[in-house]
Structure 1
Amino acid sequence: MPEEQAPPATAKWPQPTVDLREMARILRRRWKLVAVSSAALAALALIYIFILATTLYTATSTVFVDPRRTTAIESNQSSVETSNYGTDDATIDSEAMLIQSIAILQRVVEKLKLTNDEEFNPPPNALDYIKSFFKTAGPEGGASPQDAAIARAVDILQRRMKVARQGTTFLVDINVSSQSPRKAALIANAVSDAYFEEQVRAKNDATKIAANWLNGQIDELKSRVVASEKAVEDYRAANNLTVSQGVTVNDQQLTDLNNQLIAARVQTAEARAKYEQARQLAKNGGDPGGINAAISSDVIARLRTQYADIAKNEADLLSKYGPRHPSVAAVHAQLRDTQRLIDEEIKRILQSTQHDYDVARSREASLQQNFDQLQGVATSSSQAQVRLRELQREAEANRTLYESYLARYKESTAQQALQLPDSHVVTKASIPISPSWPKKFLILGLALTLGLGIGSVLAFIADYLDERVKTLDQAEKISGVPALAAVPLISAGELAGRAKRGRSELDRYDPKTTTLLPAPLQPPLMRYAIEAPGTFFAEAVRSIRLALQRTMRVQPVKVVLVTSALENEGKTTLAANLAQSLATLGVKTLLIDGDLRNPQLTRSLCPHAETGLLEIAMGRAPVERAILVDPSTGLSILPSTTIKRTEFITELMFSEQMVDVLDHCRHRYELVVIDSPPLVPLVDGRALAELADRIVLALAWDQTPGEVLSHTMDLLAPVHDRILGTVLTRVDLSRLRFYDYYQSSAYLKPYATSGLTVEAAR
């Protein structure tokens, strides 16, 4: 089998849509319900505004909530930043909630003694007693009467107060309503003052709690600092880690020795250089006098000066006396002695250089030995110093924490004497001039709007639940047979005007006559189709007549039954006008009053008839004696006399006598129109339907329920093929435009002559 294809998107079920025009028509045809609902709520609103509502005046105090405001004791910016709390929306909203808290309102109630004010502590009423009856009993030792009065006043004040933030600003409005404008302003200002007092009290409490807690922490931290510092000193003493000028003695000694060792090494190097120079000169045979020490020696300098002087003197004496002169020999001896002294001094200097070198080298070695010993001691105490530094850090941390807590404790102690609220008043509440409640126009507007809404909803519900037949299309859908016409109702004024024309005939009329009433004395509605042929009423009757004539051309039709589902649906009027319309065309027509229980047709046309359908069927009188003829139309009428014993009526409808009567009429007349009893309450009409060739079902417009029509069609199921169609009677054409515009007076008005208003009909 080929694979089935998915249906196209266009084949989906149609989605329900909202018909705005139909909604508008529903509101227009149900406007009375909407108007009544709006008027009722508007009336209730007016009663509330002028009678029930309590006049209230609202005073407003504006407060600036500043979370960044600091106390006067905070001096530096860092403390300001750490003391501030958030400035986001949640903070401002929290402050607004705090303003209307029970604690603040209770302070206001006690301050202003609102428990003595009947507005905030009214006497119990009946509703309060009913509420107390349903309340469960509280535990023993409950609230005192004074506490209960305060709680009641706080509750009323909460309902009379509204705290609102102005947009996203820090401004908060405190709105208080009261029956007295002065009292409203007084309470609003009292609430703002109580809010500031609550802020100061909360700060004082927080400061006291913080100070007490810090005081307890300070004692503990103080003992901890003392213990940690003692541990440092004990460990230093135990490990010989005495400190001098910020460093240990061992480190100080090591530093000094290191400096001395460096100086000793320099000195040794200098002495060694001098010694090596002298030893090198002596080894090479050089002049020792060239040694720096010898050159810089004062003794050698004097001896050399003296040697120069003696040498000069010797030269002078040699030139003057010659080498053998005793004076020359003496000078020569002095010169040798001076040279000897110079050599001895240089030798001493050389020995001194060696000695200095030996001393410097010995001193350097001694310092190196001591430095090595101290360095060994420092190496052995490195682990002890690590532990010492750890103890020192712990002691320093404890000291810092102790000093911080001590400073904060002193600040908290100082702040207890000076606390400022974080908020201030921007605008104090003034005495209001005009009342704030009730808002007359607002309440009335809301009532009207709500009334329109409720009325519209009720209109839609009523229209949805209303299943009465109102259009020809609706009648066709429910019944399944054609809808022939819509017969309008005639205005009571027009009927009254037509009835006045029969007053002249009334004087000449014999009440005891058994014939037909004269045409002017007959009900105007029974002859309306022929007396007002230009009206929609007559046009509707002609539409029914046309449908009947069309059927008569193709099928033999002799007996037409005009009936209805329920009583008082206009079937008698329809039967009379249809029969008269046929008679005016020259059709030999007989109109039979088949409603033996309620012969409305007979009471309207021949109320004093003595012979009727029952007498003919029972064989008590011939047909010709009972039939009455209307001379103006040629219509024959077979009335029905009043029957006291109704048990014969049903049996008569099912008897062969009724068949014989109708057969006799079929041969005597071209068309027989029967005014039948209603079908639903009585079985008589169903029996006549079995004998009729065609059935016309009259439905009272906006009166016959759709389910009744469906039930009627079920009752006529055996003769369904004989039903010619349905006819809407008593149609208000002016209202019909809200249901079926094309059948209403709005569409047919250009063709109308009269008979469009609806006030009364049979």
Structure 2
Amino acid sequence: MGQISISSRRNEISRHSVGMPDEDRDFIDSRKIGQTLWASKWSILTITLVAVLLAAVLMQTITPVYRAVASLVIEPKGASLISFQPLADPNNPTSDYLQTQISLIQSRGVAERAVKELNLTEHPEFDPRQRPYLMTRLKSLVSSLSPGLFPASWSEGEALTPTQIFDAAVMELMEHTSVGSVGKSQLVTIGVTLKDKQTAAAAANALARGYLDSRLDAQVNDSLTASRWMDTRVIELRTQLQESENKLQVYRDAQGLVDVGGVTTITANELAKTSDRMIDARRERAEAQSQYQQVQSIGGKSAGQLSTIPAVINNPVIQQFQADVAKAQAKVDELSRRYGDRHPKMIAARSDLAAAKASMATQVNQVVAGLQNNYQLAQANENALRASVNTSRAQIQDISRKEFKLRELQRDVDSNRSLYETFVNRLRETTATADLGSSNARIVDEAITPLQPNTPRKSLIFSIAAALAFGFACALSLLRDAMKNTVKSTEDVEKKMHLPVLGVVPLVQKKNRARIARQFERNDDTAFSEAIRTTRTGVMLSDIESRRHVLVITSSVPGEGKSAIAVNLACALGRLERVLLIEADLRRPTLAKNLGLSNGQIGLANLVDGSARSGECIQQVGDMDVLPAGAVPSNPLELLASPRFTSFLDWARPRYDRIIIDSPASHSVSDAALLCALADAVLYVVKSDSTSTPVVQRGVGQLLRNGAPVIGVILNQVSAINARYDHQGYYGYLPGEAYQAKV
């Protein structure tokens, strides 16, 4: 068999290598992480359990602290307990009101009330004499070592005054008190955290009562202060009221006023009537003046012309005289047609006419004189009424001025009296309610003695400890797995050894591991059987260029499963070819035992040393022939290097299509190098996630340097979780009966 150079062999291997895709380099293999964590499950559980136990021991050393909570409701405006309005409402219903009340609850005054009520100065958690500070303890310890070098007060401790003890108790209570609001509601919670759960509940209730009492005391003090101020103010208002009443009475007496309202009403009525009469007089005077002016326009004319004036014509008397004159004229006219001018009747008629005209003229003169008199009377009446109106108006104005002054003084009296009466009523109310509080805060739930401690919270601490320990254990397992430089996947083989992977054999189930030598034949594990078939296909495809009769299967170290791979691969090839399986591991033979051979003591060692013939050593097992190791010799390397072994291989080549040699591990002895030099192809078995990468690299490199024809790697005992793809799910898609029919 010709030797193949290392460089040419590596070139051939590189042609079969499959590069890793760039997109998979940053791939987070969750299944691989899960497999790693599952492999370390007991370590993770142990670390978690230890951490929980340590947490439990630690919590036993911690003194439990209890928290008692009291609830109050504080409304912006309190409900009045009485029908009238209280003196003052100091509440300001703004968004800051509740925060102000919370600050008041946290004030020193409320804490002092609680300390006094519960006598907390004698309680061990509040009395500084019963809980010395760290500095005091250090001073006492140092002074006890060398009493003469330090003041006596260091060992005895400083004496505290009652005030200092009380202040220390108050500060301690304030430090252990927390006050907060519940969401956006008007509820306020007062929480006190102490080692003594009864004292915690009592302190929370005492703080709530102290807050309510301080509010009521403040309201009572405000009421008393207001009462004293209002008492002084009432005296001042009484004096002001008396002075204003005296001024009003003096003014009434000085002005002689009795009923200003009645006088003003009478004067106003008289003025109204006089004004109406003056209007009538003015109208009458205007009419008389018009008639008089008509008479004056005629001047000294005759009575006939004066009788044409409308005021004269319209006079009934004149109209009667005119009728008489007309009648007399008519009579004269009638008689003149009958009689002559000297006729007695004519003379009598003219005499009557003249008498009628004379009477009418006399009467016209009288009427004209009457018009002049009427005009003068109307003018005089108008002037008199005008004077009366002016006098009444002056009287009313004078009365109005007096009334204004009187009302001004009366307003002063009324305002002083109203203010005085108001203050007197409020003074009475304040005096009556001086000790009555109207609070807008009340206790909703009093604090009860807590049953469970607030700290330590055992369930929370256990959960945190378990979670942290579990996370730490998982991280430690992943870190250890990352630092463990082993071959875990096909990618590792192709990347680190630059060899193709001819087969990936999964880890068989525990129930089948004891019978793994006949696993392919029994077909108990379909994934395992399909992996062996895939390896068989890879071996047969490697025969494309030249027939590879002799196939050596080796590994880096013992225990990687090379013998199981050799037996099952020989069984798989035996269904297609004539196969001879040779157990060349003469130092630790296991084939006869695993296959249950009846004559396992006769084998290769006997054949090579000449003590037995091939027909006696070779046994048929299923579809293959098996040559076991036989008796363990003292010189296995010399036997394998002897010409008899080479001659046996030459004898077996034409008789078998495939000769599979189960070789010892390459790192254990040099037998593997010798056998690989006689082989046509070498399969290197690597146990997944077990053998370190440097060991595998050194083993493969050594074989390649010796010219061994390593054609590929078989990755053995690969967990389905550790693989990128689930080979077990893929290989298990056919039922077991179908596999029985496959070759």
Q: TM-score, with normalisation over the residues of structure 1?
A: 0.47
TM-score between both structures, scaled by the size of structure 2: 0.48
